[in-house]
């Protein structure tokens, strides 16, 4: 069978195209440091890389959620500290006023102090998260002022209305793991998160208890103060102490979750690199071999073409 020059030409072009494509692919690996740039390069490695990248994106989102929760938890803690001071002061006033030696003038002075504390509680309960502008204690109604008040002709608070919900938002901080740092201002349900100002589970009802104490002081009802107001305010103080402790538990949980998310991201970065990075020593050798093969093919092609021309001339 006679092999025509055209057959050599076609085979040579196919070989040169294949070697050229190999050179291009390997040069890309050298320049980018990546062995996988398209699914066809290495389907399994590409699948692994995409899976690791998806996991890494999730860890990045968890980290973002945790950072926001930690900032919000700090804001909540600051309010809890102020409420601890207020409930402690109210308890001291009630205990002092419950004695038999106080004059009505003394009791009126105490009543004025309690009025001040009532306003401080309302302001604290309506605190906004400085990073988001949302209310901290409105539950899921984060854009509505949680507590509004009714006042008398003297400007003293006589009643309080809660405009929020007893539900709180949850944020994902890990795979199948959620957390919240929010505290509803009021929860009169026997289930769910304990309310900050009013909570049926603990018997807390801080604002209404303070209003009752103020009224009893103004009326000189020292027996009621000693027998009712003092125990009621103790429930409020205990509830705030519980909220402080729970805030600390959640903050510790967030710190642990943040470390885990960071470590997971670093591990996934390494896995992505291992799955997609090129071995530069090996790739450089392959490039050299491919370039030599390409050059040899060119030289072989030139010799074949020269022989074909000589045969034609002869």
pLDDT in tens, the chain (314 residues): 555 555 545 655 565 565 554 554 445 554 545 555 555 555 666 666 677 777 778 888 889 999 999 999 999 999 999 999 999 999 999 999 987 789 999 999 999 999 999 999 999 999 999 999 999 999 999 999 999 999 999 999 999 999 999 999 999 998 889 999 999 999 999 999 999 999 999 999 999 999 999 999 999 999 999 999 999 999 999 999 999 999 999 999 999 999 987 887 677 667 766 765 544 455 455 555 555 555 665 665 555 555 555 555 55
The pLDDT of residue 198 is 98
Question: E strands along the chain, which residues?
Answer: 147-151, 157-162, 171-174, 177-179, 186-187, 198-199, 204-205
Block residue for tokens 């854009």: 143
The pLDDT of residue 161 is 98
The pLDDT of residue 248 is 97
CATH code, residues 53-249: 1.20.1330.10
DSSP state of 187: E
The pLDDT of residue 260 is 84
Domain definitions of the chain by residue range: 53-249
The pLDDT of residue 33 is 53
The pLDDT of residue 280 is 45
Distance CA 248, CA 254 (A): 10
Are 114 and 217 spatial neighbours (Cβ–Cβ below 8 Å)? Answer: yes
| Closest among 255, 243, 256, 258 to 78, alpha carbons compared | 243
């Amino acid at each position: 069978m006679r092999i025509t020059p055209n057959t050599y030409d076609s085979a040579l072009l196919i070989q040169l195209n294949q070697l050229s494509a190999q050179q291009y692919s390997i040069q890309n690996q050298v320049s980018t440091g990546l062995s996988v740039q398209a699914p066809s390069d290495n389907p399994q490695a590409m699948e692994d890389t995409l899976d690791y990248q998806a996991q890494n994106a999730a860890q990045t989102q968890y980290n973002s959620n945790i950072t926001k929760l930690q900032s919000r938890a700090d804001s909540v803690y600051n309010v809890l500290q102020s409420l601890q001071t207020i409930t402690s002061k109210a308890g001291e006033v009630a205990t002092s006023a419950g004695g038999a030696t106080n004059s009505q003038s003394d009791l009126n002075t105490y009543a004025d102090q309690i009025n001040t504390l009532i306003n401080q509680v309302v302001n604290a309960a309506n605190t906004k998260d400085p990073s988001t502008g949302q209310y901290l204690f409105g539950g899921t109604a984060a854009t509505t002022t949680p507590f509004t008040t009714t006042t008398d002709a003297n400007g003293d608070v006589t009643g309080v209305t809660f405009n929020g919900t007893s539900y709180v938002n949850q944020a994902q901080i890990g795979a199948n793991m959620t957390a919240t740092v929010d505290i509803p201002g009021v929860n009169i349900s026997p289930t769910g998160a304990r309310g900050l100002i009013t909570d049926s589970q603990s018997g807390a009802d801080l604002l209404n208890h303070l209003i009752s104490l103020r009224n009893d002081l103004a009326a000189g009802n020292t027996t009621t103060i000693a027998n009712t107001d003092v125990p009621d305010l103790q429930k409020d103080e205990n509830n705030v102490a519980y909220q402080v402790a729970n805030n600390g538990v959640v903050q510790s949980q967030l710190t642990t979750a943040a470390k885990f998310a960071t470590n997971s991201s670093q591990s996934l970065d390494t896995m992505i690199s291992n799955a997609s990075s090129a071995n530069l020593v090996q790739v450089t050798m392959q490039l050299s071999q491919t370039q030599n093969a390409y050059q040899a093919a060119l030289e072989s092609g030139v010799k074949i073409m020269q022989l074909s021309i000589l045969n034609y001339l002869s």
